[in-house]
Amino acid sequence: MRSQYQEFGPSPSTLSMEDFQRDEAIDCKVIQMIRDDILSYSSTIPADFVKQIMKLLNRGSIHSTSSDSFIDTNSSKKLREEFAKTCFETLLQFSFINKSKGEEGGITKMAVMSLLQRCQEVVRKHVDDERLSGKCPLPRPRLAEMASVLKAITTLLRSLKQAPPGNVEKPVWKLVLQLYPCLVDCTTSPSPSVCKALRDALHEYADLLLPPATVITNGTT
């Protein structure tokens, strides 16, 4: 299976729309099988194998435009939205929501940190490429990719904030805070769709911008 799905990538640009949709549906079923028949029993599976699955899922959970064949020149083929959604929901299923502390802790931490790192990579690259492009807008697939990443960040932040106290480890929050300056760098984007998704993501940081725990008043703490 690993050799066949080592990298989630686009269907060939020569496929018809029907074949494209059929291939995506098959890929979604594979992810569902991984979720139900493998990740549900992660405690009995070698950690290295689970880690590889997490890497595959985080790649699939973000729309990728690394290949021109992902979308045809006329944009008649959409990004693999359903596939990305299935991968992302699978990652979130092994998140901190409704889990007691320590339950599936290893796979939880891998899933969230892997996704945060992937999001940070895409955001940084988008900012750099937008600066290099000057006044020329980035291609539509790149803008769709960025909007997808920002929506993923928003959903993930909401999930983390809803988690039971103490379930989210410090390294995860550290990555969340490291992502903030990268998001601020995106505020100059001329794309309305990117700006809207960015605004939603930044609003999720409001609950994290709290006063220091120790406040000095009249010489006392």
What pLDDT does 165 receive? Answer: 67
Which of 126, 137, 152, 135 shows the shortest CA–CA distance to 191?
137
Q: Residue 212 — very low, low, confident or very high, per pLDDT cuts 50/70/90?
A: low
What pLDDT does 213 receive? Answer: 57
Mean pLDDT of the chain: 75
pLDDT tens-digit readout, 119-169: 888 899 999 999 998 888 888 878 888 888 898 888 888 888 877 767 777
Helices (H) and strands (E) in the chain, counts: 7, 0
Q: Is residue 33 part of a domain?
A: yes
pLDDT tens-digit readout, 83-100: 877 887 787 776 554 454
Q: Is residue 189 part of a domain?
A: yes
Q: Is residue 149 part of a domain?
A: yes
Whole-number percent of the chain with pLDDT over 70:
71
Q: Is residue 68 part of a domain?
A: yes
What pLDDT does 145 receive? Answer: 80
Q: CA 215 → CA 160, 177, 211, 218, distances in Å?
A: 26, 21, 8, 10
What pLDDT does 109 receive? Answer: 67
Query: Does the structure show a pLDDT above 60 at 182?
Result: yes
Q: Residue 220 — very low, low, confident or very high, per pLDDT cuts 50/70/90?
A: low
Q: Is residue 45 part of a domain?
A: yes
Q: Is residue 61 part of a domain?
A: yes
Domain that holds residue 134: 17-208
Q: Which two tokens stand for residue 30?
A: 């594979």
What pLDDT does 209 receive? Answer: 77
What pLDDT does 12 receive? Answer: 52
Alpha-carbon distance 141 to 194, whole Å?
12
φ, ψ for residue 151, nearest 5 deg: -65, -40
- Per the structure, how many domains does the chain have? 1
**SS3 helix, strand, coil % of the chain, rounded to 5?**
65, 0, 35
Q: Is residue 62 part of a domain?
A: yes
Q: Which of 58-72, 132-146, 171-185 has the lowest mean pLDDT?
A: 58-72
